[in-house]
Amino acid sequence: MDVNFFLARVLPFVQKPGRYIGGEYNAVVKDGDDFLRVALIFPDLYEIGMSNYGLEVIYHLLNSLDFVWAERAYMPWTDMMEKMIESGITLFTLESRTPVKDMDLIGISLEYELSYTNVLEILKLSDIPLKSKERADKHPLVLGGGPLAGYVEPIAPAFDAVLLGDGEEAVTDIAKVLYEMRGMSREEKLKELAKIEGVYVPSFYKTEGKRVVPKYGVIPKVVRKRLIKDLDDFPPPIKKIVPLTETIHDRAVLEVMRGCTRGCRFCHAGMHYRPVRERDPEKVLEWSKTLLDNTGYDELSLLSLSTMDYSGIEKLVSKLIDNLKERMVALSLPSTRVDSFGVRIASQIAGIRKTGLTFAPEAGTDRLRNVINKNITEEDIFSTAEAALKAGWRRIKLYFMMGLPTEKEEDLLAIVELIKKIKLMGFKELRASISVFVPKPHTPFQFARLISPQEAFEKQRILKRARRFAKIDFHDPKMSFIEGILSRGGREIFDVIVKVNEMGQIFDDWKEMFSYEKWMRAFEDVGIDPNTYSGPFDVKREFPWDHLYIGIDRDFLVKEYEKALRGEVTSDCRWDRCSLCGVCFKMKVFNVLKGGRS
């Protein structure tokens, strides 16, 4: 059945048909047929994937090349999926409605572990074999990328290649190789791709115990991530695609900085994206105007892991607000620093419309905040809350974790007491979100223990006492447990993912779709005890991600873990001495601060 005919027939009967029709403002459509055809796929719904900045960057970068046409596809919702299967329609791109299986290259974004079942479902919907080794020359190459690329082994058999690190330079290299090698075999293409810095070809490696090692002598033992030195060499996408339906972040977005060196020991993103690289503030101002001209949005968000840490944030915000007032455009930052400076900037942005502030103390005691290297004290938290009240804020949200290394009951009780004290300061509304700590690879806590769901529920019983003072949201401990196993596993976990997907599991990151029972049954059927991945682990233990180097030395991770157990902190290398993490010296890329300290 023709895709256009299919859509005309089924769109009136599915939820949010705008997810599937394409034709958005600023979407790229090219004439001709002499292109490398690329499908960029986000393994979740349209309204979630359309808010993913990384995919937008790669989309516009590839389409700036005259020999590439990059298109998009997203995971359809269950109602659409059923109708596609009934009608024999495979997954198709939005721009030209071409079947994904007919493309030259598929790029799948790997943002969160519980999307792995969606990755498999996308391959099924595209009529592409699940395993790389089962694909023929007629099938497109399947490339993975994103923050999970550094510990991709549990889903690695599904990918022909994986891009580790920044994509801006690397995707151009990949596209050139594949364009020039059209008509050649998959094996020949993969051999050339493996020569590109940052590209990992899983089929060229095998497992030996916990280790992953090359099958051939010419293959590097360690794949180094790709890292760009200067963000300004790669202008941000200023012709953002304007979605047809409301998305989760429905606003213009501009990345002002990449990387974070605060050194929170639980934070994978803080390690993965090091070092800090800022954009020039004058260029940010220029790009923001063009971006808004090209999209018509009434809100602009400055994106980074910690935008408040941009070295010239106060001056930048001041200039931006002056420009945005004329356009009646609001400005937003994704995070607020836990200090009075952060409140001052937030108040400057909000003007008279103060909707709410969000802070992340993470732990209830100074001792435990030192363990995780949060580098804030209880005094900082209260002074920030007081400054927020004086500035007119009446609603506040706090983020905490439970199950952190060395955590005691008194640390949990301290969270309750902290929430109580802040509420009694005079806030009209207080919310707290409490999640389970999940140890992540390439962080100092990769050696730490993942608590069981049963332990997490016991901790929740203590924390529920805070419900007298605030609305408390708990993340499902069972989901966190499976996320932790998928983080720390090797290729043996792939069979579990296949098994649970065969049981019907998709959209596992959605609470209402997740099934802990099916996951546990899949582990049992495959013969794997998930508790063996819980830890804690010896610092000399070999891991299935040791062959993927993101620039952080293992010695640094061990020393940071040992400092954590002693309750010692490490300062931010942007403003203090080098912490010897390794990324600058090994990767020859250094902190780039262009804002000028505010």
Picking from 487, 589, 546, the residue whose alpha carbon sits closest to that of residue 259 is 589
Write down the domain spans for the chain: 3-224
Across the range 453-472, mean pLDDT stands at: 97
Across the range 43-54, mean pLDDT stands at: 96
pLDDT for position 94: 98
Segments in 395-443 forming alpha helices (H): 409-424
pLDDT for position 341: 76
Mean pLDDT of the chain: 95
Structure tokens at 492: 């043996």
pLDDT in tens, 202-218: 999 999 988 999 998 88
Does the pLDDT at position 353 exceed 60? no
Q: Write down the pTM of the prediction.
A: 0.95
pLDDT for position 524: 98
Across the range 373-392, mean pLDDT stands at: 92
pLDDT for position 354: 61
Least confident of 72-81, 132-141, 244-253, 456-465: 244-253
Across the range 233-243, mean pLDDT stands at: 95
Strands 471-474 and 429-436, bridge-based pairing = parallel
Q: Is 536 left (phi over 0), alpha (psi -120 to 50) or beta?
A: beta
pLDDT for position 595: 82
Residue percentage of the chain with pLDDT more than 90 = 89
Across the range 543-571, mean pLDDT stands at: 97
Across the range 448-454, mean pLDDT stands at: 98
Does the pLDDT at position 493 exceed 70? yes
Across the range 396-423, mean pLDDT stands at: 97
**Angstrom distance (rounded) from CA 593 to CA 574:** 8
Across the range 61-89, mean pLDDT stands at: 97
Measured between alpha carbons, how far is residue 438 from residues 36, 412, 528, 545 in Å? 40, 17, 20, 16
Residue 499's identity, in one-letter code, is: K
Does the pLDDT at position 569 exceed 80? yes
pLDDT for position 351: 64
pLDDT in tens, 501-524: 999 999 999 999 999 999 999 999
Banded model confidence at residue 99, pLDDT cuts 50, 70, 90? very high
Least confident of 103-117, 351-365, 449-463, 468-482: 351-365
Strands 211-214 and 205-208, bridge-based pairing = antiparallel
CA R_g for the chain = 24
pLDDT for position 507: 98
Are 514 and 189 in contact, with CB atoms under 8 Å apart? no
Going by CATH, does the domain composed of 3-224 fall within 3.30.70.100? no
Does the pLDDT at position 496 exceed 80? yes
Q: Cis omega (within 30 of 0) on the bond before 157?
A: no
pLDDT for position 597: 64
Q: Which residues of 565-576 are buried (b: 16+ CB within 10 A; e: fewer)?
A: eeeeebebbbee
Banded model confidence at residue 325, pLDDT cuts 50, 70, 90? confident
Are 585 and 259 in contact, with CB atoms under 8 Å apart? no
Banded model confidence at residue 352, pLDDT cuts 50, 70, 90? very low
Across the range 194-205, mean pLDDT stands at: 97
Picking from 382, 384, 364, the residue whose alpha carbon sits closest to that of residue 374 is 364
Across the range 224-238, mean pLDDT stands at: 95
Strands 105-109 and 141-145, bridge-based pairing = parallel
pLDDT for position 14: 96
Are 41 and 122 in contact, with CB atoms under 8 Å apart? yes
Least confident of 337-351, 353-367, 387-401, 474-488: 337-351
| String of DSSP letters for 479-516 | HHHHHHHHHH--GGGHHHHHHHHHTT---TTSTTT--H
Q: Treating both helix axes as pointing N-terminal to C-terminal, what angle do 53-63 and 168-180 enclose, rounded to 10 degrees? A: 40
More confident residue, 598 or 383: 383
Are 4 and 97 in contact, with CB atoms under 8 Å apart? yes
